[in-house]
């Protein structure tokens, strides 16, 4: 784990599914004490896991020589998880959501990562590389409700 200039902890991991447990632990540790319910915390961790899993499997094809970073920041209003990578650009917001009737009829497995992200997180923003940055950045945001 490294720290950004403004003291935001950043986890850098190799693009293998074996590192997903490290990502989950990193995110979970940063959610402690932020006022989320256990179910909300588990949902955020799951959404991040799905995003990273898709990145590892589809963009990087489990190539351990590739890396990506995860950072978690919290404000009074929300928690933001930023995932940065240098893979070919892919905006998950442009991907169609699965037809669930066909999904169950055909007894498919997998393919629900983007659906999970959209159901759990309040906002999903994608910024492809370019305009002076070599990184793609996926930002998953969960609003903190007043408790």
Kindly report, residue by residue over 125-141, the tens digit of the pLDDT.
989 888 788 999 999 99
Which domains, and CATH codes, for the chain?
Answer: 2-143 (3.30.565.10)
Positive or negative, the CA dihedral 53, 40, 102, 109 is positive
pLDDT of residue 141: 97
Kindly report, residue by residue over 69-95, the tens digit of the pLDDT.
999 999 999 999 999 999 867 555 555
Angle at 21 between CA 14 and CA 111, to 5 degrees: 85
Residue showing tokens 């909300």: 40
Kindly report, residue by residue over 1-58, the tens digit of the pLDDT.
555 556 789 999 999 999 999 999 999 999 999 999 999 999 999 999 999 998 998 8
Distance CA 129, CA 29 (A): 29
- State both tokens at 2: 């490294």
0.85 surpassed by pTM: no
């Amino acid at each position: 784990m490294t720290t950004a200039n403004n003291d935001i902890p950043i986890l850098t991991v190799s693009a293998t599914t074996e590192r997903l447990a490290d990502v989950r632990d990193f995110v979970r540790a940063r959610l402690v004490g932020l006022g989320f319910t256990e179910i909300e915390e588990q949902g955020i961790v799951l959404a991040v896991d799905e995003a990273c899993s898709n990145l590892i499997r589809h963009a990087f094809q489990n190539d351990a020589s590739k890396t990506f970073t995860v950072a978690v920041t919290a404000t009074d209003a929300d928690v933001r998880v930023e995932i940065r990578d240098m893979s070919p650009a892919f905006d998950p917001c442009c991907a169609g959501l699965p037809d669930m009737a066909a999904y169950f009829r055909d007894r498919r497995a997998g393919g629900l990562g983007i659906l999970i992200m959209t159901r759990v997180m309040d906002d999903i923003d994608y910024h492809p590389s370019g305009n002076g940055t070599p990184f793609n950045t996926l930002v998953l945001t969960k609003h903190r409700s007043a408790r």
